[in-house]
Amino acid sequence: MTNVYIHGIGMTKFGKLESSLKELLLEASTEALNDAGRPKIDAVFVGNFMGGSISNQEILGALIANDLGLGYIPSTKVEGACASGGIAFRQGILGILSGEYETVLVAGVEKMKHASTPDVTQAINSAMDTSSTEKHAGLTFPGFFGVLANRYFYETGATKEHLARVALKNRENGVRNPLAQFPKPTSLEEILAARMITDPLGLFDCSPMTDGAAAIVISRKKSPIHVRSSSQVSGPTQMQDAVDLLSIPAIGESGRLAYEKAGLGPEDIDVIEIHDCFSMTEIIATEELGFFNRLEGWKAVEEGRTKVTGDKPVNTSGGLLSRGHPIGATGIAQLYQLVRQLRGNAANQVANNPRLALAQNLGGTGSYSTVHILERV
Amino acid sequence: MTNVYIHGIGMTKFGKLESSLKELLLEASTEALNDAGRPKIDAVFVGNFMGGSISNQEILGALIANDLGLGYIPSTKVEGACASGGIAFRQGILGILSGEYETVLVAGVEKMKHASTPDVTQAINSAMDTSSTEKHAGLTFPGFFGVLANRYFYETGATKEHLARVALKNRENGVRNPLAQFPKPTSLEEILAARMITDPLGLFDCSPMTDGAAAIVISRKKSPIHVRSSSQVSGPTQMQDAVDLLSIPAIGESGRLAYEKAGLGPEDIDVIEIHDCFSMTEIIATEELGFFNRLEGWKAVEEGRTKVTGDKPVNTSGGLLSRGHPIGATGIAQLYQLVRQLRGNAANQVANNPRLALAQNLGGTGSYSTVHILERV
């Protein structure tokens, strides 16, 4: 129980966009402020990862405060690799819990499509430990999750088709989400035949580069959407520190903490947004968060349990794979989708008036994970 | 009254260093943890500005948590240009005030000397609004503060010699601080004759590029050093938004807020660390923070009031000008010096057992400012 409530949400279209980093940030923030009824804002937090490296633009906090005329309020950019958005959201919550702020704007943004692929890849690799042998050996993110997938196949009997089913589900959801990056339907056959990125991960198993922003207004004042709990953890920064290749302990720890604080368990959650940076990651995360038994997430995929119509709908937005993955915005975009689910007007609205929703945002290969549980009150 | 207390401090030598960004961070953090008696740490905040752009290294929060074996605790990097350190410190305080954490490690770090001057300059310029005409017209930071200095001369009768006296004072302090970047004494004549950077600012009027890190452990548990108040504000991100060229309103606002929360005024402060990114900035900041009347800071310099032996000692560490300015570390290094002043064992220890100390950390041309007031209890 945080006694922090969500008052407004905003999100740009995700994809390849003409707008600058700042314009995206202001667009999503303005929409969230309007949705919240233009309250007085006491502080701003922004999640962003590579504004400095590929857009030569930092000071995103001050740009919002200044350009939206919010006054001399505190503003802060927060970085935690791909979990920057979820971490920014948590800092906003802490600011309210501290008693220093009543109402806070949290935004997340990334602009990636204007830069060359090598430049973006290099910027992404700053989410690894530069001193590690792994990085210099070329074990970058697709490599890491590819190794993990092969081991998962070996241990469980799952196949590349299970990964493809995750990608297909998220694409089907994305096609029905007007803000998602990929409007084009695809088929299991196309996904299976797509060019290989890192064995066994093909093109559709990997999240894309994306431009986009999302924003959210939270307050101590009540609203129909309560942030039931918030957790953030750090984990191993290198694969060689992993005790078990088929576990991403940061996800499990962040889930355990969030459930404990909420007094809830995975069985209580109605709708879920998970950090599917790769199709494999979604399966592992559903296990780490306790929705399915360890090494059985692939069976849940086979049974359709994570579809919009399933008992544990995962990534009804299209997820990172098909909604897109503008890094700093992703954690906030997850919350945007869940708030719409709880309000009952989401793309891919799930049935039976969902009441409890969970968002999990991952950074690096498990260096960071945040979990937020929202409830309709 | 924050009821947050300082338990430990650590700082590397500042200058051109062989250690990597991560090594600097771990060195300062370990020293602070040892100084605090190795308490259990509940969260980590790191201030850093250009790790991504020039060292290809983000995830600094997770690197500390992982490499120092602190466990699955939350860790967050914070950016607010040159105020990244002060802002990180404030987030640590908010985390404790929120009730979520008892004891927090806050570190700041920058590594700049390994990169080429154009690369570092470009990275620094990400602290300006990239969409502004000012940036593209070449009005970068030395230009901004140069314009301001010329206007200050015009309005007040101050001269380049007053700026030189600020630079000389800070160099004299730096020479006596073993952790400072510049051990070499200089003279007023040498400062006045140094090559021009941006009229009227010569080489000694501008803070250098620096490698270094500093860290601090804070807790809800009592210690002899209390954080009496904390403030953070955002301000205009462009010079054209300034109402008055001779005012940096973010500094004034952050001071006003900090005094109000502390129930104190500038007359109560015994020792001061100010963000002297340029000699001119120190003078303006002493006015904005109410130590001297507006447009009279230069007279206080002339009278020696800001020297170690003066009634308002400013930058006894050597300041940014001579201690050095590893961007993300600066705000924490200011606090390091003030804690040592309050403990009575500082380089350039001021007389009469100082009890109240103030640190002010600036970002951009006034996009951010933080003020922290420490008291010996």
Specify the amino acid at residue B46: V
Rounded Cα gap, residues B181 and B16, in angstroms: 8
For B82-132, give the secondary structure using H, E and C.
ECHHHHHHHHHHHHHHCCCCCEEEEEEEECCCCCCHHHHHHHHHHHCCCCC
Residues of B in contact with A74 (CB under 8 A): 87, 90, 232-234
Q: A82, A206, A275, A372: which is the annotated catalytic residue? A: A82
Taking 90 as the threshold, does the pLDDT of residue B1 lie above it?
A: no
* Per-residue model confidence (pLDDT) at position A341: 98
Vertex A365 angle, CA B115 and A4, to 5°: 100
3-state SS record for B24-43: HHHHHHHHHHHHCCCCCCCE
pLDDT for the residue B365: 87
Measured CA to CA in angstroms, residue B48 lies from A14, A360, B107, B134, B266 at distances of: 29, 25, 9, 25, 29
The pLDDT, as a whole number, for residue A183 is 95
* pLDDT averaged over every residue in chain B: 97
* A123:B49 CB<8 A: no
Q: ipTM for the complex?
A: 0.98
User: Which amino acid makes up residue B181?
Assistant: Q
State how far the Cα of A196 lies from the Cα of A203, in Å rounded to an integer.
6
At residue B242, the pLDDT reads 83
pLDDT tens digits, one per residue of B3-12: 999 999 999 9
Does the beta-carbon distance from B51 to A81 stay under 8 Å?
no
Tokens of B164: 């030189």
- Residue A117 forms contact with B (CB below 8 Å): no
pLDDT number for residue B139: 86
pLDDT at B239 over 90: no
* Cα–Cα distance measured from residue B337 to residue B374, given in angstroms and rounded to the nearest whole number: 11
How many whole angstroms separate alpha carbon B6 and alpha carbon B225? 5
Q: Which residues of A touch B70 (CB under 8 A)?
A: 234
Q: Is B206 an annotated catalytic residue?
A: no
Residue B49 has a pLDDT of 98
Q: Is B78 on the interface with A (CB under 8 A)?
A: yes
Q: How many CB atoms lie within 10 A of CB A174?
A: 29
Whether residue A66 lies within 8 A of chain B, CB to CB, comes out as: yes
Write the pLDDT tens digit of every residue in B320-368: 999 999 999 999 999 999 999 999 999 999 999 999 999 999 999 899 9
Q: Who wins on pLDDT, B134 or B146? A: B146
> pLDDT tens across B159-215, in order?
999 999 999 999 999 999 999 999 999 999 999 999 999 999 999 999 999 999 999
At B269-305, the pLDDT tens digits run 999 999 999 999 999 999 999 999 999 999 999 999 9
Q: Are B313 and B306 in contact (CB under 8 A)?
A: yes
- Among residues A37, A336, A291, A8, the alpha carbon closest in space to that of A180 is found at A336
B69's CB contacts (< 8 A; 6+ apart) are none
B66 to A367: CB separation less than 8 angstroms, yes or no: yes
CA distance B91 to chain A (A): 8
Query: Are the Cβ atoms of A237 and B63 closer than 8 angstroms?
Result: yes
Q: Please return the burial class of B122, using the count of CB atoms within 10 Å of its CB with bins 0-12, 13-18 and 19+.
A: middle
Q: What is the pLDDT of residue A233?
A: 98
**B52-86 pLDDT tens trace:** 999 999 999 999 999 999 999 999 999 999 999 99
> Percent of chain B at pLDDT above 70?
100
Strand partners, B106: B45, B216
Residue A277 is a catalytic residue: no
Which of A265, A268, A370, A364 has its CA nearest to residue A311? A268
Residue segments in chain A with a per-residue pLDDT below the cut of 50: none
Which whole number is the average pLDDT over B39-50? 98
CA distance B166 to B188: 10
The three-class DSSP label of residue A47 is strand
Query: Which domains are present in chain A?
Result: 5-116+210-219 (3.40.47.10)
Q: Which residues are registered as beta bridge partners of B78? A: A78, B47
Give the distance from residue B302's alpha carbon to the nearest chain A alpha carbon, in angstroms: 33
Cross-chain Cβ contact A232/B76 below 8 Å: yes
pLDDT of residue A269: 98
d(CA B71, CA A257): 14
- For chain B, percent of residues with pLDDT exceeding 90: 95
Q: How many beta-carbon contacts under 8 Å exist across A and B?
A: 209
d(CA A113, CA A136): 25
Q: Does B240 reach chain A within 8 Å, measured CB to CB?
A: no
Q: Which of B26, B135, B231, B234 to mutate to test the interface with A (most CBs of A within 10 A)?
A: B234
